[in-house]
């Protein structure tokens, strides 16, 4: 088993969870992350070990047991959960995993299928009567993001299959090395920055709309929903017959192996091919081939029990450390970045690499001018591993740590491993404003990055509360702000003034909270003033917040006290209150709302009045109606809203005798909240 760090205290555990969540969020957003793949895996193992020893201290946002580490989300429900894979890191771990699977089955596995683990974005492509209808990202495994607009640029994903079947292909979309190089040529020609690496290029391309240029990607199918029970190797052959591209066309083609020894040999063969493949891989996937074995083994909440990823070692190169840059993030975190003599790793030119924090630099004993080992962890994010001590000449110089914030010049809080400007968010006011006005927070149209920079540089806005004090005269005094754009922006700000308390609180970007936790906090306290006055003991009563996270939030609220006071004085977030149903306690009879006391799960594709709502908006609707939104069906569930292709959740609800409504019936029930 790969070694994992030992977390010795609740604080170390909370920091580890925060680091893992942040890294996963960056990775699944655009392919970037402050942690290497190896480091992330080790961090999650350390978190799992701590939670096993301290089950009463598990934080709600822990990445364990969650698809994509709980970082990704989506608005369109999957017909069947789209899960991740568990990892092993050696031949010994693979053998132990296989032995455990056979113990679970009670008999030897009937063959293995071995295939490359492609380094792209997992997608689901829905076909009806053989015609492509919709393409979704994996998201959180239960719902994904609709990226159908990008489908015509994805090679290997046919608009029409060879047979008129209803099927959902599942696979990976990526940029081959040739496509990556061409994409960067096109982007530079159009004045855009080149992609850092193929994965971020694929993520950005799939999500982009209305670009003046076209970038092609490639799809590789590795599974499907809606096909008769086939062994996995036979399924891949079936998908190829239907016209979908699979890895069978590559040197790393899937292979059926009768024994685990043969499977181990195929893993080694694919690993040897890695450097010659026209696309990136970060591992090899081993699956029980027989459909009967897969069905018997089943799946957990995060991953199937019949498949595992054998992760491959990161590829290393040696280059020179030229300098260290110090960058300041949105919350004031000061992060070092290594500037490297350019080096090509796995076909990608690397000039920068992560260093994480000052303690990491000290621990590695790095000096400017050192020859250093660099690797692209998980074939994505470069990081500096260690200096090559025997190559030192004596001309190397110490890395100079900043004595003051490199952005604003104020003092630095060095009490934790991750240094932070004492001004916190105030140091990066533009980034904080841009986050606050986003769609899932205050949703203020007309306040993009350029306008935020103008407002901050003009001294009109230092934090989100200042937006609500802007006057018409102040805005008209800015460049390129005419009467129409000024009036539109003021109207959007005025609309945001009446946003639900949960959205206003979420806009503050408090560490340890997100959209779901913000709704719970808002529902529990009912007003910004009550949140402002809360102590750690009171916050710990909110579902999902333990003592450790409560202390972090209280410290954040103390930093934000001036902002909170201004929001309270301006009446922001008080016009629409949130119901108490978002807390762990059910709504009482005295509380308004047709869903009082109900725990509601929404599954399948929504139709009618609900079709226009995102998953976040649907959850908010449930809570406005007095209910509690949930993502999984259990004995505590009292109502399931089942749309098209509701799948396993509807089946489980029927099995448990839970009330089921169609989207149209549910819309009638909550008509007052929809209005």
* Predicted pLDDT at 366: 92
Residue 204: in which H helix or E strand, if any? helix 198-207
Residue 608 pLDDT greater than 90, yes or no: no
Same domain, 201 and 267: yes
* Predicted pLDDT at 579: 37
Of 278-282, 546-550, 662-666, the one with minimum mean pLDDT is 546-550
The set of residues, in sequence order, having a beta carbon less than 8 Å from that of 644 and lying 6+ positions away, is: 604, 605, 607
471-500 pLDDT, tens per residue? Answer: 999 999 888 888 998 999 999 999 998 888
Mapped onto helix, strand or coil, the DSSP state of residue 471 is: coil
What is the total count of domains within the chain? 6
**For the chain, how far is it from start to end, CA to CA, in angstroms?**
56
Closest CA to 480 of 460, 502, 451, 506: 451
pLDDT bracket for residue 66 (50, 70, 90): low
* Predicted pLDDT at 239: 96
Closest CA to 471 of 571, 480, 481: 481
Residue 23 pLDDT greater than 70, yes or no: no
The whole-angstrom separation of Cα 452 and Cα 62 is 33
Whole-structure pTM value: 0.47
Same domain, 44 and 135: no
Domain that includes residue 368, residue range: 314-402
Give me the active site residues, please.
117
pLDDT bracket for residue 79 (50, 70, 90): confident
CATH number at residue 105: 3.30.470.30
pLDDT bracket for residue 347 (50, 70, 90): low
pLDDT bracket for residue 21 (50, 70, 90): confident
Residue 151 CA: distances (Å) to CA of 180, 396, 498: 17, 51, 38
Same domain, 239 and 163: yes
Closest CA to 631 of 588, 601, 591, 604: 601
Boundary-marking domain end, from 402, 433, 461 = 402
How does DSSP assign 590-649, residue by residue? TS-STTTT-EEEEESB--GGGTT--HHHHHHHHHHTT-EEESS--TT--EEEE-BT-THH
Q: How many residues does the chain have?
A: 675
pLDDT bracket for residue 592 (50, 70, 90): low
* Predicted pLDDT at 233: 95
167-174/217-225 β-pairing: antiparallel
CATH number at residue 666: 3.40.50.10190
Residue 234 pLDDT greater than 60, yes or no: yes
Same domain, 469 and 526: no
Are the CB atoms for 117 and 282 separated by under 8 Å?
yes
pLDDT bracket for residue 634 (50, 70, 90): confident
CATH number at residue 2: 1.10.287
Residue 402 pLDDT greater than 60, yes or no: yes
Residue 25: in which H helix or E strand, if any? helix 10-30
Same domain, 153 and 249: yes
pLDDT bracket for residue 580 (50, 70, 90): very low
CATH number at residue 571: 1.10.150.20
Are the CB atoms for 108 and 160 separated by under 8 Å?
no
* Predicted pLDDT at 39: 60
Q: Beta-strand (E) ranges in 260-363?
A: 281-288, 307-311, 316-328, 334-345, 348-354
* Predicted pLDDT at 38: 55
Same domain, 336 and 485: no
Q: How many CB atoms lie within 10 A of CB 522?
A: 29
Are the CB atoms for 16 and 35 separated by under 8 Å?
no
Angle between helices 547-559 and 10-30 (to 10 degrees): 70
**Percent helix, strand and coil across the chain, each to the nearest 5:** 40, 20, 40
Q: For residue 287, tell me if it sits in a domain.
A: yes
The whole-angstrom separation of Cα 451 and Cα 480 is 10
450-475 pLDDT, tens per residue? Answer: 888 889 888 898 889 999 999 999 99
How does DSSP assign 128-183, residue by residue? ETTEEEEEEE-TTSSEE-B-GGGGGGEET--SB-SS---EEEEEEEE--HHHHHHH
- Top mean-pLDDT range of 232-246, 602-616, 623-637: 232-246
The whole-angstrom separation of Cα 620 and Cα 600 is 12
The structure tokens listed for 64 are 């364990």
Q: For residue 418, tell me if it sits in a domain.
A: no
Same domain, 398 and 356: yes
pLDDT bracket for residue 582 (50, 70, 90): very low
Report the alpha-carbon angle 575-558-21, nearest 5: 85
Q: For residue 412, tell me if it sits in a domain.
A: no
- Work out the average pLDDT over 554-583: 73
Boundary-marking domain end, from 552, 578, 604 = 578
HEC profile of 92-116: HHHHHHHHHHHHHHCCCCCCEEEEE
The structure tokens listed for 440 are 């899932």
Residue 209 main-chain phi, psi, to 5 deg:
-130, 150
Is residue 490 exposed (0-12), middle (13-18) or buried (19+ Cβ within 10 Å)?
middle
The whole-angstrom separation of Cα 520 and Cα 436 is 18
* Predicted pLDDT at 671: 85
Are the CB atoms for 345 and 317 separated by under 8 Å?
yes
121-128/131-137 β-pairing: antiparallel
The average confidence (pLDDT) of the chain is 84
**% pLDDT > 90, the chain:** 34
Q: Beta-strand (E) ranges in 1-97?
A: 76-77, 86-88
The whole-angstrom separation of Cα 673 and Cα 469 is 30
The set of residues, in sequence order, having a beta carbon less than 8 Å from that of 405 and lying 6+ positions away, is: 328, 332, 334, 411, 412, 421, 422, 423, 427
Q: For residue 407, tell me if it sits in a domain.
A: no
The whole-angstrom separation of Cα 93 and Cα 95 is 5
Q: For residue 419, tell me if it sits in a domain.
A: no
Are the CB atoms for 380 and 197 separated by under 8 Å?
yes
86-88/307-311 β-pairing: parallel
Residue 641 pLDDT greater than 90, yes or no: yes
Boundary-marking domain end, from 578, 594, 610 = 578
Residue 285 CA: distances (Å) to CA of 24, 67, 297, 312: 21, 17, 17, 11
348-401 pLDDT, tens per residue? Answer: 678 888 888 898 888 788 999 999 888 765 445 677 877 888 789 999 999 999
pLDDT bracket for residue 1 (50, 70, 90): very low
Same domain, 120 and 264: yes
Residue 295 CA: distances (Å) to CA of 170, 204, 288, 610: 18, 36, 10, 34
Same domain, 631 and 492: no
Of 44-58, 129-143, 585-599, the one with minimum mean pLDDT is 585-599
> Which residue in this structure is represented by tokens 């495994």?
141
181-233 pLDDT, tens per residue? Answer: 888 888 878 887 667 567 778 888 888 877 888 899 999 999 999 987 899 99
Same domain, 656 and 613: yes
Are the CB atoms for 477 and 462 separated by under 8 Å?
no
The set of residues, in sequence order, having a beta carbon less than 8 Å from that of 377 and lying 6+ positions away, is: 35, 36, 37, 38, 39, 40, 314, 383
- Top mean-pLDDT range of 36-40, 222-226, 494-498, 550-554: 222-226
* Predicted pLDDT at 588: 36
> Which residue in this structure is represented by tokens 């982009």?
208
**% pLDDT > 70, the chain:** 89
Are the CB atoms for 674 and 665 separated by under 8 Å?
no
Q: For residue 408, tell me if it sits in a domain.
A: no
Same domain, 150 and 237: yes
> Which residue in this structure is represented by tokens 């979420």?
506
Q: For residue 107, tell me if it sits in a domain.
A: yes
The residue that leads in pLDDT, 642 or 675, is 642
650-659 pLDDT, tens per residue? Answer: 888 888 889 9
Same domain, 235 and 115: yes
Q: For residue 518, tell me if it sits in a domain.
A: yes
* Predicted pLDDT at 517: 82
Beta bridge partners of 630: 601
The structure tokens listed for 593 are 């709302």
297-319 pLDDT, tens per residue? Answer: 999 878 899 999 998 866 667 89
Of 73-87, 152-166, 367-381, 661-675, the one with minimum mean pLDDT is 367-381
Closest CA to 117 of 7, 235, 273: 273
């Amino acid at each position: 088993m790969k070694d994992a760090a030992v977390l010795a205290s609740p604080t170390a555990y909370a920091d580890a969870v925060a680091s893992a969540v942040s890294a996963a969020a960056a990775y699944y957003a655009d392919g970037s992350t402050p942690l290497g793949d190896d480091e992330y895996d080790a961090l999650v193992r350390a978190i799992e070990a701590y939670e096993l020893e301290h089950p009463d201290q598990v934080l709600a946002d822990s990445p364990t047991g969650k698809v994509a580490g709980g970082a990704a989300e989506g608005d369109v429900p999957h017909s069947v959960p789209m899960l991740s894979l568990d990892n092993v890191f050696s031949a010994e771990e693979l053998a132990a995993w296989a032995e455990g699977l056979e113990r679970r089955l009670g008999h030897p596995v009937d063959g293995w299928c071995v295939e490359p683990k492609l380094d792209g974005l997992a997608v689901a492509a829905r076909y009806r009567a053989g015609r492509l209808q919709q393409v979704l990202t994996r998201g959180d495994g239960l719902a994904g993001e609709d990226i159908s607009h990008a489908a015509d640029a994805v090679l290997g994903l046919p608009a029409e299959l060879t047979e008129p079947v209803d099927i959902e292909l599942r696979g990976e979309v990526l940029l081959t090395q040739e496509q990556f190089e061409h994409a960067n040529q096109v982007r530079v020609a159009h004045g855009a920055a080149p992609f850092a690496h193929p994965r971020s290029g694929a993520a950005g391309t799939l999500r982009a709309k209305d670009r003046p240029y076209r970038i092609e990607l490639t799809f590789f199918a590795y599974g499907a929903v809606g096909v008769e029970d086939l062994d996995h190797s036979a399924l891949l052959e079936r998908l190829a017959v239907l016209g979908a591209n699979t890895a069978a066309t590559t040197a790393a083609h899937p292979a059926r192996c009768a024994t685990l020894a043969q499977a181990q040999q195929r893993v080694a063969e694919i690993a040897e091919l890695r450097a010659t493949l026209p696309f990136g891989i970060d591992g090899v996937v081993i699956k029980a081939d027989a459909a009967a074995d897969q069905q018997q083994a089943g799946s957990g909440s995060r991953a199937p029990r019949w498949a595992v990823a054998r992760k491959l070692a990161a590829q290393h190169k040696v280059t020179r450390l030229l300098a260290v840059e110090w960058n300041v993030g949105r919350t004031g975190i000061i992060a070092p970045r290594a500037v490297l003599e350019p080096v090509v790793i796995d076909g990608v030119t690397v000039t920068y690499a992560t260093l994480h924090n000052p303690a990491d630099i000290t621990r590695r004993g790095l000096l400017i001018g050192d020859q250093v080992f660099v690797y692209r962890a998980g074939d994505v994010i470069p990081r500096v591993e260690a200096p090559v001590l025997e190559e030192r000449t004596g001309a190397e110089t110490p890395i100079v740590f900043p004595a003051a914030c490199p952005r604003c010049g104020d003092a630095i809080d060095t009490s934790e491993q991750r240094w932070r400007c004492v001004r916190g968010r105030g140091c990066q006011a533009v980034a904080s404003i841009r986050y606050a006005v986003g769609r899932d927070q205050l949703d203020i149209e007309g306040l993009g990055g350029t306008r935020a920079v103008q407002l901050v540089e003009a001294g009109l806005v230092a934090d989100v509360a200042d937006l609500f004090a802007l006057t018409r005269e102040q805005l008209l005094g800015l460049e390129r702000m005419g009467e129409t754009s000024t009036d539109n922006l003021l109207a959007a700000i005025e609309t945001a003034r009446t946003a639900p308390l949960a959205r206003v609180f979420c806009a503050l970007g408090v560490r340890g909270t997100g959209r779901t936790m913000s709704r719970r906090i808002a529902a529990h306290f009912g007003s910004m003033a009550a949140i402002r006055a809360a102590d750690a003991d009171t916050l710990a009563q909110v579902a999902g917040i333990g003592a450790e996270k409560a202390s972090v939030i209280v410290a954040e609220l103390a930093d934000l006290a001036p902002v909170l006071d201004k929001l309270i004085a301006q009446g922001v977030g008080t016009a629409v209150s949130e119901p108490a149903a978002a807390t762990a306690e059910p709504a009482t009879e005295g509380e308004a709302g047709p869903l009082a006391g109900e725990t509601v799960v929404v599954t399948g594709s929504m139709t009618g009045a609900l079709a226009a709502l995102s998953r976040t908006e649907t959850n908010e609707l449930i809570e406005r109606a007095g209910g509690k939104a949930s993502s999984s069906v259990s004995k505590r569930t009292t109502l399931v809203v089942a749309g098209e292709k509701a799948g396993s959740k509807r089946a489980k609800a029927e099995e448990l005798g839970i009330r089921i409504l169609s989207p149209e019936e549910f819309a009638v029930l909550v008509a007052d909240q929809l209005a």
